[in-house]
Amino acid sequence: MAVAPKPRPSKPEGVRFVLRPYRRMPTQHVLYYLSGECVGKGIVTNLSQSGMRIQGEHALEPGLDLALRLTLSLDGPTIEVERATVRWVDGYDFGLDFVHLGPVAAKHIRDTLSQQIRAPRSPA
């Protein structure tokens, strides 16, 4: 049985290709997000110093601002991102750009990314 391909998200008018300033790393971290419209739980599927990709519980709209809470390690602190903006949406997947990230949260994200870059990869 053939499966229809997932439709590609349409780009809003005037949006152009922009090179990402930071490397994205695949992850599997649980997070909670909050806006004036909803509260939800999601999985961070990739992370960078400037944003993340989420598989969430809601179909959100680009431009929506969210507050985030997540833990990047089993023994690590809960990180709070005061404001992140939804940049794109594809069903329940969405991309966030960090708008207001405190220095403690930024350090934990940087440290987590550095550890993942240095970690040996297991053969596939």
Residue 61 lies in a domain: yes
Higher pLDDT, 65 or 25: 65
Residue 10 lies in a domain: no
d(CA 96, CA 66): 9
Q: Of the given ranges (23-27, 52-56, 69-73, 118-122), which has the lowest mean pLDDT? A: 118-122
Residue 108 lies in a domain: yes
Asked whether 48 and 24 are in contact (CB, 8 A), the reply is yes
Asked whether 94 and 64 are in contact (CB, 8 A), the reply is no
Residue 58 lies in a domain: yes
Residue 11 lies in a domain: no
Length of the chain: 124
d(CA 111, CA 17): 28
Asked whether 56 and 42 are in contact (CB, 8 A), the reply is yes
Q: What is the pLDDT of residues 33-92, one digit of tens each?
A: 999 989 999 999 999 999 999 999 999 999 999 999 998 877 878 999 999 999 999 999
Residue 56 lies in a domain: yes
Return the bridge partners of 85, or none: 65, 97
| CATH code for the domain of 67 | 2.40.10.220
- Look up the domain containing 50 and give its range: 25-118
Which among 58, 68, 72 has a CA at the least distance from the CA of 25? 72
Number of domains into which the chain is organized: 1
- Is the pTM value of this prediction over 0.85? no
Residue 60 lies in a domain: yes
Residue 84 lies in a domain: yes
pLDDT at 77: 84
pLDDT at 72: 84
For the residues 11-21, what does the mean pLDDT come to? 53
Higher pLDDT, 119 or 57: 57
pLDDT > 70 in the chain, percent: 74
